[in-house]
Amino acid sequence: MFLFKSKVESTLKYCMDNKLYKKYRVNILCRTMIESIEKKIKTHKGTVLRTIPSLNIICASLPPSGIERLTELPEVKHITQDGHAFLCGSSVLGANGMAIKGKFPLSGKGIGVAVIDSGVYPHPDLLNPGSRIKKFTDIINGYRYPYDDHGHGTFISGIICGSGYNSKGMYRGVAENATLYMVKAFNSLGRAYISDILYSLELISEEAEEFNIRVICLPFELMEHNPTTVKLFSKAFERLTASGIIPVVPSGSQGCEEGSIRGLAALNSCITVGGLDTTTSNTLPYAYSSSGPVEKIEKPNIAAACVEICSLNTNTRYIPERNGIKLYPMNLDKPYATYTGTSCASAFISGVIALLFENKKDLTFRDVASLLKVSSSMVNASHWVQGAGMVDLQKLMS
């Protein structure tokens, strides 16, 4: 019983003590011998769902009795319930929002940007001239070809590297010649399991060299603070930054009240981007953009526009294949749409970082953070909402 109490997360323990469910989706943190524990899971009427070797994690579905038996193993360090992450943004509206302005000598050519989101629709702006979608992995439904049954992932992709093909360049992405590595880990409701996201990071890390991935856009937030989950993301981010890959996350949507930043956005091993409202004559903080301070860490790092941004629309009903045969998408009646949310700001900065890597390929995480900081200017808002302020692309690219 002592081992059960010390190894099982408090929320999971509460659910089990009160016999709320017959099975639980859990993340099992292992010390060693992952293969041995996988066999034990099956013995205890469980199912192994994901294995993430770099973090020594097994995600599994188990009955309470199986979880109790696993706590007896010295190789098992901790067991926590598999939580959810949520995409940061409001519903898609009409296509009349703000375009990304400016034309720069750099375009992100040759730089890979990974995105973990709801997928990506084969939009003309991502296929012409030449496909920007270099790899698509669907860990939700297992489809082989790109699609997006929510719309968020396509919108984010357009901000990063859309060509503006359907708008004659008006609604192009900030790094229009960067390439896209998309992992669909979020379902049609905009939700994803933590284990699926960590597994996605593992996939990206393994193929980063092949696709020259230098930036990972993670346009979502964790609504609850689970110390174990945050530590796992911190370890994953540190591994990425050590390999020269920059994780970019939104500040979140908990509001501008000081100290509202939670989860990933509070980690020191990523670039956290706050949201600004530039739709009026005076730039203001986006009302729902989460705010610092975070103890001993300056967050958010910087801020970018995130209100009524215009990017790529999606046909959420499109499926890419049936009975193993590829299906081709219909033309969209409205190729563009607007979106509001701090995820838009994180996508913009992801594109900006791709431009930096095109210019100088050996930048470190500290280099990128410093360059963004010195090229930013404060707007009329609290430091805790905007960090170093809004990036001046002309200054950054000069």
CA separation for the pair 9, 75 (Å, rounded): 17
Partners of 373 in the β-ladder = none
CB-based contacts of 360, cutoff 8 Å, min separation 6: none
CATH superfamily of 2-82: Peptidase S8 propeptide/proteinase inhibitor I9 (3.30.70.80)
- pLDDT on residue 90: 56
Q: How far apart are CA 64 and CA 99, in angstroms?
A: 52
Q: Give the pLDDT score at 397.
A: 76
Cα dihedral across residues 16, 20, 141, 323: positive or negative: positive
Name which of 230, 265, 268 is nearest 249 in CA terms.
Answer: 265
- The domain limits of the chain are 2-82, 86-397
CA distances 265 to 85, 194, 254, 299, Å, are 12, 15, 11, 8
Q: Residue 96's pLDDT is what?
A: 39
Same fold, 2-82 and 86-397: no
- 300 cis-preceded (ω within 30 degrees of 0): yes
pLDDT of the residue at 98: 46
Q: What is the pLDDT of residue 83?
A: 93
Residue-by-residue pLDDT tens, the chain, 398 positions: 555 568 999 989 999 999 999 999 999 999 987 889 999 999 999 999 999 999 999 999 999 999 999 999 999 999 999 999 999 865 433 333 445 555 567 899 999 999 999 999 999 999 999 999 999 999 999 999 999 999 999 999 999 999 999 998 888 899 999 999 999 999 999 999 999 999 999 999 999 999 999 999 999 999 877 899 999 999 999 999 999 999 999 999 999 889 999 899 999 999 999 999 988 888 889 999 999 988 778 899 999 999 999 999 999 999 999 998 999 998 999 999 999 999 999 999 999 999 999 999 999 999 999 999 999 999 988 889 999 999 888 788 77
Residue 109, pLDDT score = 95
- Evaluate if pTM is beyond 0.85: yes
CATH architecture of 86-397: 3-Layer(aba) Sandwich (3.40)
Whole-number Å distance between alpha carbons of 199 and 258: 32
For residue 137, the model assigns a pLDDT of 98
Nearest 5 degrees, angle CA 123-CA 126-CA 127? 85
